[in-house]
Amino acid sequence: MAVAHLVHSWRVDSPPDTVFAHLTEPRHYIGLSPLLVEVRDVRRGLDEQGEPVTDYVAVERFRFLKVLRWDNLIRVRMRVLEQGAALRQSVVSPGGVRLEWTVRLTPQGDGTAVDDQMEITMAAAMRGFVTGQARGVQLHRAAELTRRMRRA
């Protein structure tokens, strides 16, 4: 198995509580990730230790040669690490891909510094494809979240 670590930091023009509220709603990830086209089966509850979690299924759509389409159903568990400041999503994807995504929010002036970290575990043969897709999603997420948090 191969492991990749991806890190990206940027600033948005909204306070941490606004950004946090946006990121804790699974349906807001549609369009935040360029691959994500649907969120289903959202369930809020408690994990084995009694901590609150949100579980959901995300549908990623991959297109090949502009005519072939493959929908990848991934299971996601979202945990709040620090209310208003940090959350983690654990992703289980077909093909043995596992992803731990952590986002930390820090007040910065009248906005928020966003620190986005991913740890991805995958088969070594899939490393180039998986890390390339993940990095593209990470950079798109930064641009789209910045756009969504722009003050009118």
Q: What is the pLDDT of residues 66-84, one digit of tens each?
A: 788 888 899 999 999 999 9
Question: For tokens 């948005």, what's the residue?
Answer: 12
- Confidence (pTM): 0.89
CATH class for the domain made up of 2-148: alpha beta
Percent of the chain clearing pLDDT 90 (strictly above): 79
For the chain, the structural domain boundaries read 2-148
CA distances from 4 to 23, 53, 89, 128 (A): 23, 25, 16, 10
Q: What is the pLDDT of residues 96-118, one digit of tens each?
A: 899 999 999 999 999 999 999 99
